[in-house]
Structure 1
Amino acid sequence: MPSLFRLFSLLPLGLLHGLGAAMGWLVFALSGTYRQRFLDNARQAGYRFGEIAAAVGHAGRLVAELPRLWLRPELPHCEMIEPERVERAWAQGRGIVFLTPHLGCFELSVQAAAQRWGPKYGPITILYRPARQAWLARVMETVRNRPGVQAVPTTLSGVRQMIKALRRGEAVGLLPDQVPPEGQGLWSPFFGRDAYTMTLAARLVQQTGAIVIVARCERRSWGRGYVMHFEELPLPLSDSLETAVLQLNQAMEQVIRQSPSQYLWGYARYKQPRAEQPAAQVAP
């Protein structure tokens, strides 16, 4: 597998996306569980299959592009739309919490932002959970700490490092629609159905006064690169944790609706959280 992974990293992005799209449709056809979850989640959000069928191929593209993003030193072309929104946030010196759902090429979001703003404002800190496979864990340990990106463990120590980074005026990055372990989230509506939602993003903002920037990195067709959009929250986060978590869920819904054909509808967003020691809570 490591040799194949490296071989894929050498292929042109367009070819990777073509292979990935085929793989996405193959998995969709063969896995009844995945297919049903995909259709159920899309229906919950109000979409018919014909409206978001392209998301099947994009799920495969997400997997196929990882070797290229992880193992090649140069990043593919990524145009940034309205980066001045991020510049305004940096100017306030309060730190930035970058949030992106499982949409488009979220793996590139942090890398592209770090490449552009890391030299001036410091690294973007992200949480990191090692992979179970030894070879993949070695690969991820290297790629998660690319220039401008600081990966910290999903422990209380790692969360404290994120808080310190924000208080230094730096940035952190999170996937707020990722289902957290039991004890680290709240049940909150997501597309009209309660989903177990992380509290970490809201707590980081409430405790440090950081600014939230919602990012989405969309794939262009035929391997022509990516385009990244930045948005600010329409209103400041509430001091109420429950309300703040709902606000972030609503912000994720809004950004997903802007590009529903690139969202991972097959992600098990409504699953029960796994039981785990709640180590990654925000602490002073």
Structure 2
Amino acid sequence: MPSLFRLFSLLPLWLLHGVGAVLGWVVFLASGTYRRRFLANARQAGYRFADVRAAVGHAGRMVAELPRLWLRPEPPHCEMIEPERVERPWAQGRGIVFLTPHLGCFELSVQAAAHRWHAQFGPITILYRPARQAWLARLMETARNRPGVQAVPTNLSGVRQMIKALRRGEAVGLLPDQVPPEGQGLWSPFFGRDAYTMTLAARLVQQTGAIVVIARCERRSWGRGYTMHFEELPLPLSDSLETAVLQLNQAMEQTIRRSPSQYLWGYARYKQPRAEQAASAASTGGQVAP
């Protein structure tokens, strides 16, 4: 598998996306569980299959492009739309909490931002959980430890490092629609259905005064690279944690609706949280993201 991964990293992006699109449809047709979840999640958001069928291929593209993103030193071409929305908070000396849902090439969001801005504004800190398979853990370590990206462990120590980074006026990156372990989130509506939602993003903003910037990295057709869009929250986050979490869920919904054909509708967003590290996080009022 490592050799295959390295081989795929050398292929052009258009070919990787072509192979990935086929892979996406193979998995969709072969796995009844995945297919039912995909359709149910899209229906929950008000979409027919015809509206989001392209997302089947994009799920496969996400997998196929990983070797290119993880093993090549330079990120692929990514045009940034309205980068001033990122640069303005930094110019004010404020930290940034980058939020990226499971949409488009979310793996590239941190890489591209770090590649452009780390020399001027410092690294982007992310939480990192090593894979169980040794070969995959080594590959992921290579991907995470690149210039401008500071990977920290998924525990209280990692969260403290994120807080320190924000107070230094740096940035952190999170997937806010990822289901956190039990005791480290709140049940909050997401497309009209309660979903267990991390509180870490809201807590980081409330504790540091950082600015939320939503990054949406869309794939261009035929492997012609990517386009990154940046959005700001329409209103400041509430001081109420429950309300702030709801605000972020609503912001994620709006972002997904701008590009529903590239969202991972097959992700188990409404699953029950797993029991993990809940007691230690709750005892300090902290949050550990998965």
What interval of TM-score do these two structures reach, taking the shorter chain for normalisation?
A: over 0.9
Query: What is the TM-score normalised by the length of structure 2?
Result: 0.96
Tell me the alpha carbon deviations over residues 82-114 of structure 1, each in whole angstroms, 9 at most, x when there is no partner. Answer: 001111111121200000100000000000000
Alignment of 1:21-36 (within 5 A): 21-36=21-36
Rounded Cα–Cα distance in structure 2 between residues aligned with 1:249 and 1:92: 26
- Structure 1 residue 23 displacement after superposition: 0.2
Number of aligned residues: 283
Tell me the alpha carbon deviations over residues 46-88 of structure 1, each in whole angstroms, 9 at most, x when there is no partner. Answer: 0000000000000000000000000011211100000011111
Rounded Cα–Cα distance in structure 1 between residues aligned with 2:261 and 2:132: 30
Aligned counterpart, 2:185: 185
Query: What is the TM-score normalised by the length of structure 1?
Result: 0.98
Tell me the alpha carbon deviations over residues 176-204 of structure 1, each in whole angstroms, 9 at most, x when there is no partner. Answer: 00000001000000000000000000000
Alignment partner of 1:116: what SS? helix
Aligned counterpart, 2:76: 76
Alignment partner of 1:250: what SS? helix
Aligned partners of 1:204 and 1:282 also within 8 Å: no
Aligned counterpart, 1:43: 43
Alignment of 1:142-157 (within 5 A): 142-157=142-157
- Structure 1 residue 282 displacement after superposition: 2.6
Alignment RMSD (CA, Å): 0.9
Alignment of 1:162-177 (within 5 A): 162-177=162-177
Aligned partners of 1:110 and 1:173 also within 8 Å: yes
Rounded Cα–Cα distance in structure 2 between residues aligned with 1:25 and 1:122: 40
Aligned counterpart, 1:269: 269
Alignment partner of 2:132: what SS? coil
Is 1:230 equivalent to 2:230 in the alignment? yes
Aligned counterpart, 1:247: 247
Aligned counterpart, 1:159: 159
Residue 282 of structure 1 aligns to which amino acid in structure 2?
G
Tell me the alpha carbon deviations over residues 201-233 of structure 1, each in whole angstroms, 9 at most, x when there is no partner. Answer: 000000000000000000000000000000000
Residue 95 of structure 1 aligns to which amino acid in structure 2?
G
Aligned counterpart, 2:136: 136
Residue 11 of structure 1 aligns to which amino acid in structure 2?
L
- Structure 1 residue 142 displacement after superposition: 1.7
Rounded Cα–Cα distance in structure 1 between residues aligned with 2:170 and 2:20: 35
Moved runs in structure 1, 4+ residues, more than 3 A? Answer: none
Alignment partner of 2:126: what SS? strand
Rounded Cα–Cα distance in structure 1 between residues aligned with 2:214 and 2:115: 18
Alignment partner of 2:47: what SS? coil
Match of 1:282 among 271, 280, 286: 286
Aligned partners of 1:109 and 1:228 also within 8 Å: yes
Alignment of 1:94-105 (within 5 A): 94-105=94-105
Alignment partner of 2:272: what SS? coil
Tell me the alpha carbon deviations over residues 233-282 of structure 1, each in whole angstroms, 9 at most, x when there is no partner. Answer: 00000000000000000000000000000000000000000011224553
Residue 167 of structure 1 aligns to which amino acid in structure 2?
R
Tell me the alpha carbon deviations over residues 123-161 of structure 1, each in whole angstroms, 9 at most, x when there is no partner. Answer: 000000110111000111121111000000000000000
Residue 203 of structure 2 aligns to which amino acid in structure 1?
R
Alignment partner of 1:166: what SS? helix
Tell me the alpha carbon deviations over residues 11-63 of structure 1, each in whole angstroms, 9 at most, x when there is no partner. Answer: 00000000000000000000000000000000000000000000000000000
Alignment partner of 1:229: what SS? strand
Residue 10 of structure 1 aligns to which amino acid in structure 2?
L
